Amino acid sequence: MATDYYALLGVSRDASPDEIKRAYRQLARELHPDVNPDPASVDRFKEVTAAYEVLSDPEKRQMYDLGGDPLRAGGGGFGAPFNFGDLMDTFFGGGQRRGPRPRMRRGQDALIRLQVDLAEAMTGATREVQVDTAVCCEACQGAGTAPDTQPATCPMCKGHGEIQNVQRSFLGQVMTARPCPQCQGFGTTIPHPCVECAGDGRVRTRTTIGVRIPPGVDTGTRIQLAGQGEVGPGGGEPGDLFVEIVQTVHPVFERRGDDLVCTVEVPMTAAALGTGIELETLDGVEQVEVRPGTQPGAVLTLRARGVPHLRGSGRGDLHIQLDVRTPTRLDDEQEGFLRSLARARGEEGVTLRATEQVADETGGFFSRLRGAFSGR
């Protein structure tokens, strides 16, 4: 034999395909012109590439082992064309067989936003939403062809879905492949497309879908409806529909996580004497006790009156912030009552001295201010 391909790759004659591939990868990385532009290395790279082309193909290797040279027998020698895609697969670990791509493909996922109020977020609900989506064409059942017709083999690529070109380069003749421009890589054409879907196998329509909203959802929660998205081209498997929740603002209750917060105004006299409040909550009327001497900003908590936990059991709490209101307009009688109360408590005409505004050990200026009106 004029050329010993096994010696070029540095492997034995009984080397496995994996050993041949590993040997070629190592040599190709050392001799590739991008790494080693020396002319001798370029020639060497072309030789080991030709050797790999023969020994990696079972039929060519068998012919070579029987005494033939597949490259020279074809008149090409080391200048015979090799598939550039196979070379890239060797470098980057591809190796997948190319061919026509299927017309039937999975559809895209879809996303819509759904507004729910706080009551629906707490108790859960079932809503119907209208979605503009792609569904399978009933006229052709997703085939894309007119009745009694079939797809035809593409005359340009002969059903392969790709066109191969041979170009000369420093590596010799390099073969490249690209999708067929006539059939877009499908390998077949549709001479008589369906008049309803124009050959796509699907049509767009508006459909109504029921959505179950679980208790505890919040703004940003996404509900996945498997198989409710768009049908794929060629009548392919539909994608999924994702419903993103947007909770609207409630006029009374503010949501903080799974807790609810509301503010209740309490007259100054009711805060001092104590009172009861009938609070209309999302669970019904609750009786809330305001104890005598309640201070502004006090918070009353009703346990497990908030939003249910979306994952897990239990509920958040309801926090009631008390806003103690001081009267701004008093008639003579009301003013007299307050002055009498101030005299009785020794608070009439109380003023603060500058020294009382210095921070103390228990809280500073506001602590002294409260102390001035506490009868000390």
Indicate the fold that domain 98-138+198-248 takes in CATH: HSP40/DNAj peptide-binding domain (2.60.260)
Closest CA to 199 of 152, 237, 133: 152
Q: How do the domains of the chain map onto residue ranges?
A: 5-92, 98-138+198-248, 249-326, 332-376
Cα angle value 97/99/102 (rounded, 5°): 120
3 state SS of 182: coil
Q: 284: which residues sit within 8 A by CB, 6+ positions away?
A: none
CA 108 and chain centroid, separation:
13
- pLDDT mean values, one per 10 residues, the chain (376 residues): 79 90 86 76 85 87 78 46 45 51 90 95 95 93 92 91 73 73 91 92 93 96 94 93 96 96 95 94 94 95 96 94 92 89 80 47 40 38
- Helices and strands in the chain: count of H runs, count of E runs: 10, 16
CATH class of 5-92: mainly alpha
How far is it, in rounded angstroms, from Cα 372 to Cα 205? 74
Q: How far is residue 145 from each of residues 151, 179, 180, 307, measured CA to CA in Å?
A: 7, 22, 20, 53
pLDDT score for 114: 96
Is 149 exposed, middle or buried (CB count within 10 Å of its CB: 0-12, 13-18, 19+)? middle
3 state SS of 102: coil
Closest CA to 111 of 126, 81, 131: 131
Q: 333: which residues sit within 8 A by CB, 6+ positions away?
A: none
Contact in structure between 33 and 45 (CB atoms under 8 Å): yes
pLDDT score for 350: 59
> What pTM was estimated for this model as a whole?
0.63
How far is it, in rounded angstroms, from Cα 231 to Cα 227? 8
Transcribe 50-89 into DSSP letters: HHHHHHTSHHHHHHHHTT--HHHHTT-GGGS-EEHHHHHH
Same CATH fold assignment for domains 5-92 and 249-326: no
Indicate the fold that domain 249-326 takes in CATH: HSP40/DNAj peptide-binding domain (2.60.260)
